[in-house]
Amino acid sequence: MEPMELVARRPAPGGPPKGMVRVPGGTFLMGGDDPDGRPEDGEGPVREVRVDPFWIDPACVTNAQFATFVKETGYVTEAERIGWSFVFRQFATVGVMEATVPGAPWWAGVEGATWRSPEGAGSTVGNRQNHPVVHVSWNDATAYAAWAGKRLPTEAEWEMAARGGLERRRYPWGDELAPKGRQRCNIWQGRFPTAPSKGTMPVKSFQPNGYGLYNVSGNVWEWTADWWGVEWEPFADNPAGPAGGTAKVIRGGSYLCHDSYCNRYRVAARTSNTPDSSTGHTGFRCAALI
C-alpha cells in the first residue's frame, strides 16, 4: 500500500515557537479496526500515511493563554457574539434556553456561556487558568493559531502525535484503558449522564505520551484543520458526516465520553462539528511545520 502524501498547511514563520514538541514525521499507520470501533465514522481502513516533520503544542491552549490573545487583539469569540453556547446540562443552572442537541438531552443551550463564563452568567475561569479553553469554535481556534504564528494540526498530524510513537494501539499509552487500575485520562466515571462530573481538568493532567503530549484522550475534544469527509479519499463518501466541507474533524474525546454510548477517546476515533459551533467540552492545540 503506497503511503498518502500530505499537503502542508500554512507554516509558522520564524521557526518553532517556544515550548512546542517536535514530532519526527515519516510514515505511520493511521486509523483503526477496533472491534468496538465506529466504522460509520470513517475510522478505517487502517492505512499508511506520510507526514512531514512538525511541531505541536504539548497541551491544549489554556484559559490563561487565550486571555492573553484576547487582551492583545480584542478578539470576540463566536459564542460571545451569538450570546450563548452549549453547556452540559448538569452544569447549567441559569439562562437555560430551549436549544437542545437531537439525541443528546444532556446538552443545554445557555445564555451567556462563553470561554470566560463556561457555565453561563455568574461562572468564571478564575480558578481554571490552566484548564483548556472551551466554548471556542473552529473559527476562534484558527484566529488564535494565526495570532500565535501557528496553525491547527491536520487530522493525520494530530493522530501521529497522539500515538506517541506506538503502532496500532487503542490509546496513547497502550491497549488497556486503566493499566494496573490507574486512570490515564479524564473521561466519564460512573453511570452516564447522572453521576456527578468534575468537568475539565488542567491541561497537563496524567502522564504524557511518548512524544510528550498531554491529554490527547479525554478532557476536551480538539479541533483539527481538516474538513470532515473531504480531505481523505477513503472518507470521501463517508455517510457519517456532511460532505462538501460543512464540518471540521475533531479528535480525542472529552470528559463526557463513556463506554456506554461514546468510546471516542480511542486514538483512532473521530467525529466532527460545524466550524461555528462551540461547546463546553471542545478546545484545541496548535501545530507548526519545521
Q: 164-188: per-residue pLDDT in tens?
A: 999 999 999 999 999 999 999 999 9
pLDDT for 66: 98
pLDDT band, residue 102 (cuts 50/70/90): confident
In a domain, 99, yes or no: no
Cα separation, 189 vs 175, in Å, equals 19
Mean pLDDT, the chain, as a whole number?
Answer: 89
pLDDT for 14: 56
* Amino acid symbol at 139: N
pLDDT at residue 212 tops 90: yes
pLDDT band, residue 81 (cuts 50/70/90): very high
In a domain, 82, yes or no: no
pLDDT at residue 10 tops 80: no
| Lowest-pLDDT range of 36-45, 112-121, 247-256 | 36-45
The C-alpha cell that represents 265 in the structure block: 477517546
In a domain, 36, yes or no: yes
In a domain, 105, yes or no: no
Among 234, 228, 222, 232, residue whose Cα is nearest residue 284: 222
Structural domain count of the chain = 1
pLDDT for 13: 52
Query: What proportion of the chain, given as a percentage, has pLDDT over 70?
Result: 89
Peptide bond into 39 cis (omega under 30): no
pLDDT at residue 154 tops 80: yes
In a domain, 207, yes or no: yes
Three-class DSSP category at 66? helix
pLDDT for 244: 54
What's the angle, vertex CA 125, arms to CA 64 and CA 77, rounded to 5?
70
pLDDT band, residue 17 (cuts 50/70/90): confident
In a domain, 69, yes or no: no
pLDDT band, residue 12 (cuts 50/70/90): very low
Task: Name the residue with higher pLDDT: 17 or 240.
Answer: 17
Q: Is 52 exposed, middle or buried (0-12, 13-18, 19+ CB in 10 A)?
A: middle
Q: Which domain holds residue 247?
A: 1-59+131-290
**CATH no. for residue 251?**
3.90.1580.10
pLDDT band, residue 18 (cuts 50/70/90): confident
Q: What is the pLDDT of residues 220-250, one digit of tens each?
A: 999 999 999 744 444 444 444 444 568 999 9
Cα separation, 76 vs 115, in Å, equals 10
pLDDT at residue 204 tops 90: yes
- Beta carbons of 134 and 60 less than 8 angstroms apart: no
Q: What are phi and psi of 286, to 5 degrees?
A: -110, 165
Q: What is the 3-state secondary structure (H, E, C) of 202-264?
A: CCCCCCCCCCCCCCCCECCEEEEEEECCCCCHHHCCCCCCCCCCCCEEEECCCCCCECCCECC
Q: What is the pLDDT of residues 31-72, one digit of tens each?
A: 999 988 888 889 999 999 999 999 999 999 999 999 999 999
**pTM (2 d.p.):** 0.90
In a domain, 95, yes or no: no
pLDDT for 16: 63
The C-alpha cell that represents 26 in the structure block: 515519516
pLDDT for 243: 46
Task: Name the residue with higher pLDDT: 290 or 131.
Answer: 131
pLDDT at residue 156 tops 60: yes
Three-class DSSP category at 104? strand
